[in-house]
Structure 1
Amino acid sequence: MAPRDLIDIDRIFHEPAVADYPRGREILARYPNAERIEVPSHWNIPDLHGNAGSVEDWVRIKRSTLVLGVKKGLTMRPNGRSAHFIAPSTSNGCAMSCAYCYVPRRKGFSNPISLFVNAEAVCAAIARHAGQQGPLPEPDQIDGQAWVYDLGENGDLSVDAMICDNVRDLVALFRGLPNAKGSFATKAVNRDLLAYDPQGRTRIRFSLMPARIARIVDVRTTPIPERIAAIDDFVRAGYEVHVNFSPVILYEGWEADWAALFDAIDRTISGAAKDQLACEIIMLTHNAGLHAVNLGWHPKAEDLLWRPDIQETKRSEGGGENLRYRTGWKGKWLARFKTLLAERMPYCRVRYAF
């Protein structure tokens, strides 16, 4: 998907202070013809937040609307799964429209990209925190040598980088931190990132699933074959490249589809990429609220995602009620998934499975 097909901004909601920041002025100047609407907070936008009618204009809002704000909270949250810490986000929301994404419920139904214009404050907070950690005491499932900071919990940095240099700044930051790495997952191939010179200090995780399923649920993302084909290029550019098998969606024939995906990866990537490869495996999490949202704009996806016959309600760490595959069966399906992976990609270490 070409950048203009993904992003064509004609409306910008912005906090009053945005123009006080160089990054804010840069972004505003990039879209001189866009309508500008001042709002008290990037979280308080009546035209977006809680507007159920937005499901009717889902893709148009994703493509044409941008929100600009100033990041307030700069604390690091312990993680211990995919990363050691969750860094303060430089963005929220996304131009893509994955049907299983939990973010739409948080800021309007379509939830376009929000960018924070004080990325330098985020970078400074990460640098201070990393400086306080000292060396990683011992290798663990997250990394063998460095503290890892997840940078894109609520968005996709590959797409953010099409709009401004926040991501370039983050990659440059970690290039100079001897005891830390940045990490983010992506469903987009943005080849501009190949020029960022990460020097092994940024981990990019390409999210992958069987292509025929991605065509239904990974809406407005880079096609799966293109993501696989990009792995070698990013390894050569100095990134540590891992893959996220996420989400793993269960349906009749899922094992054959995933086996074919593993074979395609194995055929495509180089020995150098295989030598450094690791993965995360994340089984689908869904919930009734997102199900209701999806029925308004993409009901076909719910045939795959909404499976109460094999799902059960679980309370999340954040206190919400989610649907996950049933206890007992989920463990058996995850074990089968790992067996398939080991048979076809024995070099791919599983860092994290959930």
Structure 2
Amino acid sequence: MLHEKTIDQLLTIHEIYHEPNIREFARGREILAKYPDAKLIEVPAHNKIPELFGFEGAVEDWLWNKKNVLILGSKHSLSARPNTRSSHWVAPSQSNGCTMSCSYCYVPRRKGYANPITIFVNIEKIMGYLERHAARQGKKLIPDLTDPEYWVYEIGENGDCSADAAICDNVKDLVQQFRSIPNAKLTFATKFVNRQMLDYDPQRKTRIRFSLMPHQMSKLVDVRTTPISDRIAVMNDFREAGYEVNVSFAPVIYYEGWLDDWRRLFDEMNDVLDDETKKKLVTEIIFLTHNEQLHDVNMNWHPKAEEVLWRPDIQQVKYSQSGQRNVRYKNNTKRELVNELVNLCTEMIPYCGIRYAF
């Protein structure tokens, strides 16, 4: 099966860094039992591991750590941050970091650049918080672009839930919990096909957003992810299994011939997706934002990708709230690019609603 082969390629856990009290939690004990041969390294805190985090220069260990290192900790500060686009709130993380290595990813900048997966084992505490938070919101009375009926909680902002689900049942627990929360649903974007999730029975209360971009560009920048055609091929199955299936065109990267490649992608969607999947399909369109520090790191391990990601001739500086120097396409250029892609969507995949485009 594709799932089993891909999991083996992505994750071979040799080392587990863990906080001292990890065995006090059932999820912690389950994960340790799953990887009995892994070397255990006790650390005072999941986010303070000098040999893993903040070592931009150690790019030779980058992919090894992504594949072979797992971190176990507990989530102490719980809050749901308001959001305004693909969800109403960003839920407290059940994980952080990712085994995949997309060269444009913003998450590594927050927690040391290699940033392997951290699983938070106090999942019951996270679930309890979410249930109480949703109850405080009451019934959603006004439809909006995020959802016509439910309050939507993003659970995958800091990683990829499909990959996390290959390690433990945190994601499964959340999906099944939200079946019984009357006024809310979950959402997350993914670049990984995990067929085990077809058995979760989400009952339309989980929105999975498959991230898509043209094939050749994905092969260049989506390092260690499931191929685009495999993501498209499984969308009907996930819809039949009870998920609300959306797509995410992100990040959109400009290069010579970009629009022709998007046209080929849309042709494939038209051929593969069935009528029921098409009828409920919605997308978000997010153009590339890159980062100067990440560019410097990438030049040491994946310089070819930087030829399309780092384009000072057509990009402008945008400082983040944390003061980091980001770049995005110049305003006039971006306006034209957004219009071109939106027009192509309207022409070729008119059944696909556009939640937002920027």
Class of the TM-score when normalised by the shorter of the 2 chains? over 0.9
* Secondary structure of 1:282 counterpart: strand
Aligned match of 1:55: 59
Aligned match of 1:172: 176
1:263 deviation in Å? 1.2
Whichever residue aligns with residue 336 of structure 1, its letter is E
Distance 1:158 1:277 in 2: 20
Pick one of 95, 98, 101 that aligns with 2:99: 95
Aligned match of 1:315: 319
The structure 1 segments of at least 4 consecutive aligned residues displaced by more than 6 Å after TM superposition are: none
CA contact (8 A) 2:57 2:297 kept: no
Distance 1:152 1:71 in 2: 15
CA contact (8 A) 1:8 1:64 kept: yes
Distance 1:29 1:111 in 2: 23
321-330 or 246-255, larger mean C-alpha shift: 321-330
* Secondary structure of 1:142 counterpart: coil
Distance 1:311 1:207 in 2: 23
- The one-character-per-residue Cα deviations of 1:140-160 (angstroms, maximum 9, x if unpaired) are 110010000000100000000
1:103 deviation in Å? 1.6
Distance 2:160 2:16 in 1: 19
CA contact (8 A) 1:150 1:182 kept: yes
Structure 2 unaligned runs (5+)?
Answer: none
Q: Aligned runs of 1:6-21 on 2, under 5 Å?
A: 6-21=10-25
CA contact (8 A) 2:13 2:38 kept: yes
1:49 deviation in Å? 1.2
- The one-character-per-residue Cα deviations of 1:299-331 (angstroms, maximum 9, x if unpaired) are 111011000100001123444331010012211
1:205 matched to 2:197? The reply is no
Distance 1:302 1:228 in 2: 26
Q: Aligned runs of 1:297-316 on 2, under 5 Å?
A: 297-316=301-320
Distance 2:26 2:50 in 1: 27
1:232 matched to 2:231? The reply is no
Structure 1 unaligned runs (5+)?
Answer: none
CA contact (8 A) 1:248 1:283 kept: yes
1:53 deviation in Å? 3.8
Distance 1:120 1:99 in 2: 33
TM-score, normalised to structure 2, is 0.97
Whichever residue aligns with residue 16 of structure 2, its letter is I
Aligned match of 1:134: 138
Q: Percent identity?
A: 55
1:73 deviation in Å? 1.4
Distance 1:134 1:319 in 2: 37
CA contact (8 A) 1:185 1:207 kept: yes
Distance 1:141 1:218 in 2: 28
Pick one of 101, 104, 127 that aligns with 1:123: 127
Whichever residue aligns with residue 136 of structure 1, its letter is K
Aligned match of 2:268: 264
Distance 2:207 2:49 in 1: 34
Distance 2:200 2:310 in 1: 40
CA contact (8 A) 2:19 2:73 kept: yes
Distance 1:66 1:107 in 2: 14
* Secondary structure of 2:232 counterpart: helix
Size of the aligned set, in residue pairs, is 354
TM-score, normalised to structure 1, is 0.98
Whichever residue aligns with residue 214 of structure 1, its letter is S
179-188 or 41-50, larger mean C-alpha shift: 41-50
Distance 1:70 1:24 in 2: 9
CA contact (8 A) 1:67 1:113 kept: yes
